[in-house]
Structure 1
Amino acid sequence: MRFAQILYNKAHWIFDAEEKPDYGSDILIVDITDKPEVQEGWSYDPKTEKFTAPIIPEPTPIEPQPTLEEMQAQTLLNTEYLVSRNELGLGGI
């Protein structure tokens, strides 16, 4: 037989045993022999006695970091811009 220990309404530990162990009243053990899809981490609803798989959100895309060459080019452009403003008497440096 297959069992799941439920902790904080989640399948915490899944194990096989000949019969349902009695660990005491404060430890909930549920028979999941007929539910082979249940895995550790699945949510358990004690009212309906049903399990649901966790919903894993899509990862947030990470903006690519500029390369060293791109950063150097941007620094050069900024410097040239400030120098040209200064030469025109518009301030800048």
Structure 2
Amino acid sequence: MKKFVQIVDNTAYWIFEAEELPPYPNAEDFLEITGREEIKEGFLYNSETGEFTAPVIAKAPPFESQPTVEEIQAQILLNVEYLVSRSELGLGGK
């Protein structure tokens, strides 16, 4: 059994085994990769060098945790105390 890969947009799209490549309309979109077990669907194909490389998956940005209810309440309390003290000093609310 031979192993083939279909290349779509420079990407290994479909990998399958067959005795011979079936008569597909675009046979140039298929390559024989028998013995190259490292190639997986999704690998990028460089048509100039004939090499496959694993896709680079970008890391998700770090998750920024949200403040807890207690932290929000503490911030509100501080803001209220600040505004009350400005008012008592006659500095106004602005």
Give the Cα separation in 1 of the matches to 2:28 and 2:66. 49
Query: Are residues 32 and 88 of structure 1, via their aligned partners in 2, closer, same or farther at CA, if it must alter by over 3 Å?
Result: same
Could you tell me the TM-score, scaled by structure 2's length?
0.87
Q: How does 1:44-63 map to 2 (within 5 A)?
A: 44-63=45-64
CA RMSD of aligned residues (A): 1.6
Identity fraction in percent:
54
- Partner residue of 2:33? 32
1:14 paired with 2:39, answer: no
CA-CA distance at 1:57 after TM superposition:
2.0
Could you tell me the TM-score, scaled by structure 1's length?
0.88
1:74 counterpart letter in structure 2: Q
Q: Deviation above 2 Å: which 4+ runs of structure 1?
A: none
CA-CA distance at 1:26 after TM superposition:
6.5
Q: Which runs of 5+ in 1 are unaligned?
A: none
Q: How does 1:52-91 map to 2 (within 5 A)?
A: 52-91=53-92
How many residue pairs get matched? 93
